[in-house]
Amino acid sequence: MNESSSAPERRVRQGMDYGETADVHQVHAAIQREKREPRVGLEPLSLWLIAIYGLAVFFGGAYLGRYSGSFGADGLDPLGGAPRPQKHGPNGPGGAETQQLSQADRGKKIFSANCATCHQANGLGVAGQYPPLSGSEYVNGGTRRLGMIVLKGLQGPLTVKGVQFGTAVMQPWDKTLTDAKIADVLTYIRQDWGNTGGPVTPEGIAALRKELASHPDSFTEPDLKAVPADAELPGGAPAAAPPGGPPNPAASPAPSPKA
């Protein structure tokens, strides 16, 4: 018989013989140590950080609530919000004529939707950032400089009522608001908060828009100072006399634009 077939078969074992070379418990312990998840980045958040984050959120919300003005859901609508149904007389539709809003009332709606965020609903602006409209020499003076600011925008610094506003920036509205809407909002700010300016007509804004069509940049304070303080738009009314002063014979109210 073949000698190789009588000899016990020898097989090569694969892997580790746990019973001969190492203790099974030690091997499992090593494997468990290798699989252990790292702890870096999983430490619990410090209570101090939680308190700081909470205070930051609280004061941030308080700041936005204080300086957001009358900003609302339609604050970015250049048309001043969705149109509202017109009011009718006591006899209902088809009875009395529809009540028409005045030019200043229309301007107030446009101001609340587009301007009150910066200049505030009370016209006092924000200290150091946005100049006030109440008592402003640019509002109560001639209408030309005011129309220039609204149509083409303004880049600070700007001095109003003796106070400099270094970060005063106003966007141009010539591509957003129509001549009638600009005239309405300028009429409103010239007649509210104790201001004494006269009304502004859409025809005057249209004439100035055509004149400034090739002007690409926003105006600066030197640009405004180069214009006489009492310069008026075509069709605009001169500034009214201050309370207690002599009446201005050239001041005459301009006709209200047709709706």
Domain with 187 in it: 103-225
User: What integer pLDDT is reported at residue 162 of this predicted model?
Assistant: 86
pLDDT tens for each residue of 27-51? 667 666 665 566 666 677 788 888 8
Q: Is residue 56 included in any domain, yes or no?
A: no
pLDDT value of residue 188: 92
Residue 257 resides in a domain = no
Residue 221: both structure tokens together = 């304070």
| Per-residue model confidence (pLDDT) at position 233 | 86
- Looking at residue 186, its pLDDT comes to 92
What confidence score (pLDDT) does residue 190 get? 92
63 within domain boundaries: no
Amino acid identity at 99 = Q
Express each pLDDT in 157-169 by its tens digit: 888 888 888 776 7
Residue 177 burial class via C-beta count within 10 angstroms: exposed 0-12, middle 13-18, buried 19 and up: buried
Examine residue 189 and state whether it is found in any structural domain, yes or no.
yes
Q: What is the per-residue pLDDT across 92-130, written as a single tens digit (0 to 9) for each?
A: 554 444 468 888 889 899 988 888 888 888 888 888 788
pLDDT in tens, 221-255: 888 889 888 888 865 444 444 444 444 444 434 43
The number of folded domains in the chain is 1
The answer to whether residue 29 is domain-embedded is no
The answer to whether 199 and 106 are in contact (CB under 8 A) is no
Q: Find the CATH number of the domain harbouring 165.
A: 1.10.760.10
What integer best gives the mean pLDDT of the chain?
74
The one-letter amino acid code at 210 reads K
Q: For the segment 189-204, what is each residue's pLDDT rounded down to a tens digit?
A: 998 988 888 899 999 9
pTM to 2 decimals? 0.54
Can you give the pLDDT at residue 13?
52
173 vs 79: CA distance, rounded Å: 12
Contacts 24+ apart (CB under 8 A), 245-254: 251/198, 253/198, 253/199, 254/198, 254/199, 254/200, 254/201
- Asked if 143 and 197 touch (Cβ cutoff 8 Å), the reply is yes
Residues 213-221: what's their mean pLDDT? 85
pLDDT of residue 242: 42
Residue 169: predicted pLDDT = 77
Instruction: Give me the pLDDT at residue 196, please.
Output: 86
Q: What is the pLDDT of residue 203?
A: 92
